[in-house]
Amino acid sequence: MNPLAPRKIPTEFLRFLTAGAAGFAVDSLMLLGLVQGAGWQPMLARVASFALALSATWLINRMWTFRPVTEEKSARGIVAEFLGYCGVQLAGGAANFALYATIVAVTGHSTVELLGALAAGSATGLIINYFGARKFVFSTKA
């Protein structure tokens, strides 16, 4: 095997990225709607939009990305899975939110600034979230 040859990106990771893109869409639409449409403060709106996006990505990841691992779970196992997913996402979300809050505090909260802060924050949590979900939530041992 040539160590310099490009490596194939695992399908599972590409699906995780797709689920994350869908979550980003949910997150950003709700964030903008709450801040610009309903007059919420950007930090409070971010908490609400994050919670909705977390739920959306859990469903997508459960039903598509990691489906082979989730098919045989009982109702109790599904609840445990969701709670584990929340824990992992909160770890990545802490890094995400810290960067988001810093950028919003420095730049402001126009549409472009909010979306830029949201994108930067989301990128910081991506690796934490993927490996945490893979290892602790959707593993064959979970």
Residue that has been written with the tokens 């593993």 in this structure: 139
Which range of residues forms the domain containing residue 73?
A: 11-137
Instruction: Show the CA angle centred on residue 17, arms to residues 82 and 25, nearest 5°.
Output: 80
Is 6 inside a domain boundary?
no
Name the residue with tokens 């830029």: 116
pLDDT number for residue 69: 85
Q: How many CB atoms lie within 10 A of CB 78?
A: 12
What SS3 class is residue 94?
A: helix
The pLDDT assigned to 4 comes to: 65
In a domain, 97, yes or no: yes
pLDDT value of position 3: 63
Rounded to whole angstroms, the Cα distance separating 83 from 85 reads 5
Residue 3 falls inside a structural domain: no
pLDDT value of position 6 = 67
Q: What is the largest CA-CA distance in the chain?
A: 57
In a domain, 4, yes or no: no
Per residue of the chain (142 residues), what is the pLDDT tens digit?
Answer: 566 666 777 899 999 999 999 998 999 999 999 999 999 999 899 899 989 999 999 999 999 999 988 888 889 999 999 999 999 999 998 988 899 899 999 998 788 998 899 889 888 888 889 999 999 999 876 5
Give the total number of structural domains in the chain.
1
d(CA 140, CA 117): 35
Say if 120 falls within a structural domain.
yes
Per the listing, tokens 């930090």 go with 43
In a domain, 1, yes or no: no
